Structure 1
Amino acid sequence: MAQDSAIPVRVPLVTAPMGIFKSLSTARRNVLRIIPEIATRQPMVTGKTGKRWHMVMDPGAIRHILLDRLEDYPKSVVTKNLLKPAIGESLFIAEGAHWRWQRRTAAPVFSHRNVQNLAPIMSAAAERAAARIAAAGPRAVDLLDEMVTTTFDVISDVTFSSGDTFDRDAVHGAIDDYIAEAGKISLFDILGFPDWVPRPGRIMSGQAMKEMKAMADKAIESRAAREHEGVPDLLDLLLAGEDPETKRRMSTAELRDNLLTFIVAGHETTALTLAWSMYLVAFDQQVQDRARAEAQSVLQGRAAGAQDVERLPYIRQIIDEALRLYPPAGIVSRTARKPDELCGREIRAGETVMIPIYALGRHKQLWEESDAFRPERFADRKSIDRYAYLPFGDGPRICIGASFALQEAVIILATLLSRFRFTPVPGKEPEPVMILTLRPEGGVWLSAEPV
């Protein structure tokens, strides 16, 4: 499909039926390319690729899945199988009572006050990113790599602020290796085929993950044995946390699995959000000019603080629009536990129900000029249906770190736009490809000119 120069890059969706083998090979290259184009025009699409599946885009039906009947639509087996080797039975994977007590314990960690207290760490990482970009001189910079580095700086500093014998480079490498391996997702996984059906190319090396877990356990035990000075980081807050209902506290293994969840999720997804935001502001220089004026007016040459985030509404709108167009989790998969009905259609127990977040964000009936980059559409958040925009999910299982990620993204984007003008590098347009997350394949290559 030819790319329209008036709109940013997009994934060509399916316009004709594909057999199971073509679907499989397509999904191995880019999971989003199995989404039928009619999913951007219909409330629900049902198909059969070996096994019956459903894609749901109707906000009311999505609310039903994520809120009203949450217990009847658990995360799919594939989601758990892919992530359990890294993050165990942590918040992201656990179900039922085991999830609820962990959520109650961890929720205060991400309170507004605690997140605001971590803003100086985010600002310091943003300043280091600006210094690296300036030092690169006139040559083009891959903003994807730069944002991965910057967000890992943040997550490692807010997780293990005092070092704690935690080898950051080793952890970073282990996470990247794990994501690369876990990302070898099969269409069979998405459609909920049983575990005994062979998955082509699935190799899960556990050695790096074992070493990372051992390192994390050692750091947790070291911290627990002494008091930490200064602003509490995530580890301090989790160590002090307890379930207000049962008074249960997390064991070392539970602490480790949840910390690794925050590191993996908080690092990768925020980096992608920022990389796509950088691509978009370079794509539309008028948007960039307006955002830069806002950032310079608020920051006036100083580092961004927590108090500035609310004063940067247009920067936030750019991030919201980037998340609509390029959600890090492009498809969410659930398994129906009981018979049900969605959009007047029968759902049988055991069937896979997908929410294609990518198609939802580009749905013609939900968004005007759905493929266009228009940050101002988020100027009035109340005008947007809550279940039409789900970059962080919704319902009781909404992402616990959403406010943390948004504060971090606003601080970093405002800092960079206040210092540089970014322009695209001809011939280096990224391609949106989702394996495990929606990444700009080829990187986000931009020239940065100091302003």
Structure 2
Amino acid sequence: MTAMPAPEISPASPGVVFSRRSPISTIARLIRNPLDAIPPETFIHPLVHVEFNGVRRLYITDPALIQEALVKNSASLGKGDEVRRALGPALGDGLLTAETPSWKWQRQAAAPAFQWERLKGFLPAMIDAAEKRRDLWALLPHRQLDIGHEMMQTTFDIIVETMMSGRENIDVAAVERSVSDYLGPSGWMFALGVLKAPEWVPYPGKSRAGAAVAYLRGVMRDMLERRRASSEDRKDLVGMMLAAHDPETGRGMDDENIIDNLMTFITAGHETTALGLAWTFHLLAAHPDVEQKICEELHRVVGNGNVQPEHIEKLTFLKQVFNETMRLYPPAPIIVRNVEQPFDLGGHHLPKGMVLMIPIYAIHRHKLLWEAPERFDPSRFAPEKAKERHRYAFMPFGAGPRICIGSAFATMEAVAILAVLLQRFRLANPGRRPAEPLMRITLRPRNPMMMELADRPPFCSPLEPA
């Protein structure tokens, strides 16, 4: 007996909420801050249906349904035109933007660089970069700094040292400016994509974004040309991609494809971790009790000396703090997928062409998934609580087969940087103002996070709360 097909999903489907926000309001929000364009219903309901400009969108916040869509039905989903329009000019056909099967063999080529044993070998370089930042801070003639900028530089140093065997002639300040120039008008990119406007349509910041992409890809091209001219066989990510071949076709990566992936790791890779670190320092400035617990753990694990690679895995509370920051401020706040092949989800039939929106920012603050979701509470990530939470209720690095390949690298890097810097310094928010999150593909603060630097007693002896 043939099973009855599931009814096609619609605003009238049981369990589905229809968002009635006006199209004009949605476009204005997309341009100003795409984070605000997430329908408010997604924070309290599992499925929210939106129809706009002839395209049907389904926001999914139920972890079980997210798992069913992104894992069980991953082969039926594609990245879609909106992702390509926003990221394609910079990242080309790299890991973040490629469709299967191109994505699959590229990931296989990069995977050895992120194996656990190899990652642990990166710890000395991570700690060394953090110590260099610590020593630079100690020499500052003033005591105020832009923590976002400082973390961008630190994580950039780490990714080029570990993945490219050194920065060579790369100007980190120019790279940082170019990444910001490219991401700056991304709200316009999203809005024009939703409107299905031709790609030639001008918008504020477009020419600057184009120049930034040209500069960044040029930097990667120059580095790659120097590497090809060198006879040195380096076992880093660049070397792995130069040697990679598709097991099915035998073709290797051409220079543009390697540049696509270097752009992915250099921009997205260091940017997301840096933002997570900046948000962590911002939250700690408002929660001295949590910072004191970090100090106690550092003093207990590290003792009267410098942070060593073997200490990182033992800093469990510090990892909880970083995870809780990534819950409140996920670096990539939305996942977008297009239904390429129809399938059923939770008793509903999803037609070809429907756009699935996985609003990670809303999932991480969902009232049905988290108690007091707006509260900063690292105890949520205590080891004993992991079994109480659905795996897909917390997904700062995405989910399914296309989960971020560098998730373990990023977490290890963040814990190492926090450990080294918090052992020596305390950062305060002089204005006592919360920073406003702004989605520019990644989740940045709207304004620079200016923080005041204070020395800490030796070996992280806790300071009394101010």
Q: How far apart, CA to CA, are the structure 2 residues paired with 1:188 and 1:144?
A: 29
AA aligned opposite 1:270:
T
Q: Residues 196 and 411 of structure 1: is their aligned pair in 2 closer, same or farther, counting only changes over 3 Å?
A: closer
2:6 is aligned to none
Q: Residues 224 and 302 of structure 1: is their aligned pair in 2 closer, same or farther, counting only changes over 3 Å?
A: farther
Match of 1:372 among 375, 382, 385: 375
TM superposition shift of 1:103: 1.0
TM superposition shift of 1:37: 2.6
Provide, for residues 4-41 of structure 1, a one-character-per-residue CA deviation record: whole Å limited to 9, x for no partner. Answer: xxxxxxxxxxx994311121112211111122332122
CA contact 2:148–2:278 (8 Å) conserved in 1: yes
User: SS in structure 2 opposite 1:91?
Assistant: coil
1:433 is aligned to 438
Provide, for residues 114-151 of structure 1, a one-character-per-residue CA deviation record: whole Å limited to 9, x for no partner. Answer: 22222222112211222233333663322122112211
Q: How far apart, CA to CA, are the structure 1 residues paired with 2:177 and 2:440?
A: 18
AA aligned opposite 1:95:
E
Provide, for residues 56-100 of structure 1, a one-character-per-residue CA deviation record: whole Å limited to 9, x for no partner. Answer: 001121112211111212112111122111121111111111111
CA contact 1:43–1:343 (8 Å) conserved in 2: no
1:113 is aligned to 117
1:124 is aligned to 128
TM superposition shift of 1:319: 0.8
Equivalence map 1:68-147=2 (5 Å): 68-136=72-140, 139-147=143-151
1:56 is aligned to 60
1:65 is aligned to 69
The farther-off stretch of 33-42 and 387-396 is 33-42
User: SS in structure 2 opposite 1:404?
Assistant: helix
1:382 is aligned to 387
TM superposition shift of 1:234: 2.7
CA contact 1:141–1:445 (8 Å) conserved in 2: yes
Which segments of 5 or more consecutive residues in structure 2 lack a partner in the other structure? 1-17, 457-466
Q: Residues 373 and 81 of structure 1: is their aligned pair in 2 closer, same or farther, counting only changes over 3 Å?
A: same
Equivalence map 1:24-423=2 (5 Å): 24-50=27-53, 51-136=55-140, 139-182=143-186, 184-189=188-193, 191=194, 193=196, 195=198, 200-201=203-204, 203-204=206-207, 205-228=209-232, 232-243=235-246, 248-300=251-303, 302-380=305-383, 381-423=386-428
Q: How far apart, CA to CA, are the structure 1 residues paired with 2:375 and 2:71?
A: 30
CA contact 1:185–1:436 (8 Å) conserved in 2: no
AA aligned opposite 2:312:
V
Q: How far apart, CA to CA, are the structure 2 residues paired with 1:401 and 1:199?
A: 34
User: SS in structure 1 opposite 2:333?
Assistant: coil
Q: How far apart, CA to CA, are the structure 2 residues paired with 1:158 and 1:432?
A: 30
CA contact 1:28–1:435 (8 Å) conserved in 2: no
Q: How far apart, CA to CA, are the structure 1 residues paired with 2:373 and 2:413?
A: 26
Superposed CA RMSD: 2.5
TM superposition shift of 1:316: 0.5
Q: How far apart, CA to CA, are the structure 2 residues paired with 1:303 and 1:250?
A: 42
Q: How far apart, CA to CA, are the structure 1 residues paired with 2:201 and 2:307?
A: 50
CA contact 1:76–1:192 (8 Å) conserved in 2: no
TM-score normalised according to structure 1 size: 0.88
AA aligned opposite 2:77:
Y
AA aligned opposite 1:102:
Q
TM superposition shift of 1:248: 4.5
Q: How far apart, CA to CA, are the structure 2 residues paired with 1:89 and 1:122?
A: 29
User: SS in structure 1 opposite 2:437?
Assistant: strand
User: SS in structure 1 opposite 2:307?
Assistant: coil
Q: How far apart, CA to CA, are the structure 1 residues paired with 2:43 and 2:124?
A: 41
The farther-off stretch of 177-186 and 265-274 is 177-186
Provide, for residues 387-424 of structure 1, a one-character-per-residue CA deviation record: whole Å limited to 9, x for no partner. Answer: 11111112111101111111110001111111122332
2:464 is aligned to none
TM superposition shift of 1:105: 1.0
TM superposition shift of 1:173: 3.2
Q: Residues 450 and 148 of structure 1: is their aligned pair in 2 closer, same or farther, counting only changes over 3 Å?
A: same
1:19 is aligned to 22
The farther-off stretch of 235-244 and 113-122 is 235-244
Q: Residues 203 and 84 of structure 1: is their aligned pair in 2 closer, same or farther, counting only changes over 3 Å?
A: same
Q: How far apart, CA to CA, are the structure 1 residues paired with 2:19 and 2:261?
A: 42
Q: How far apart, CA to CA, are the structure 1 residues paired with 2:49 and 2:171?
A: 47
Q: How far apart, CA to CA, are the structure 1 residues paired with 2:232 and 2:305?
A: 29
Provide, for residues 215-267 of structure 1, a one-character-per-residue CA deviation record: whole Å limited to 9, x for no partner. Answer: 322322322333448x8433234334445666543222222211111001111
AA aligned opposite 1:390:
M
Q: Which protein is bigger by CA-based radius of gyration?
A: 2
Q: How far apart, CA to CA, are the structure 2 residues paired with 1:278 and 1:365?
A: 28
Q: How far apart, CA to CA, are the structure 1 residues paired with 2:235 and 2:395?
A: 30
CA contact 1:160–1:166 (8 Å) conserved in 2: no
TM superposition shift of 1:363: 1.1
Provide, for residues 35-61 of structure 1, a one-character-per-residue CA deviation record: whole Å limited to 9, x for no partner. Answer: 233212211111223332110001121
